[in-house]
Amino acid sequence: MLLLLELHVEMAKDFGISQQDKINLDSKKAQYKSKLENDRKNMESKLAKKRLAEEEERKDVAKNQKIVAEQSTRMMDCFEQMLKMYQR
């Protein structure tokens, strides 16, 4: 959108527009540029938050998998001890 507005301003200059129209177009151009920059910053911020949340989720999953693996090992140790007790 900003590029189209810039092209419009340049084309309008070539065909001669009033000073007031030029000021209005430049003002709109600055507004759109500011809005686009704010939108970009907001999008980057949202993406950063999303990536952080995904990383936290991966850490939680890894932690839970480790806990499950440890519990499985303990359970197998208990079964082995029970078997040894019954085999005596």
Q: Is residue 9 within 8 Å of residue 25, measured between CB atoms?
A: yes
What is the tens place of the pLDDT at every residue in 24-57? 777 887 888 888 899 999 999 999 999 999 999 9
CA distance 37 to 56: 29
The CA-atom distances, in angstroms, between 11 and each of 17, 38, 45, 65 are 10, 27, 36, 63
Going by the DSSP 8-state scheme, the letter that residue 61 receives in this structure is: H
Q: What is the pLDDT of residue 2?
A: 61
**What amino acid is encoded at 29 in this protein?**
K
pTM for this model (two decimals): 0.55
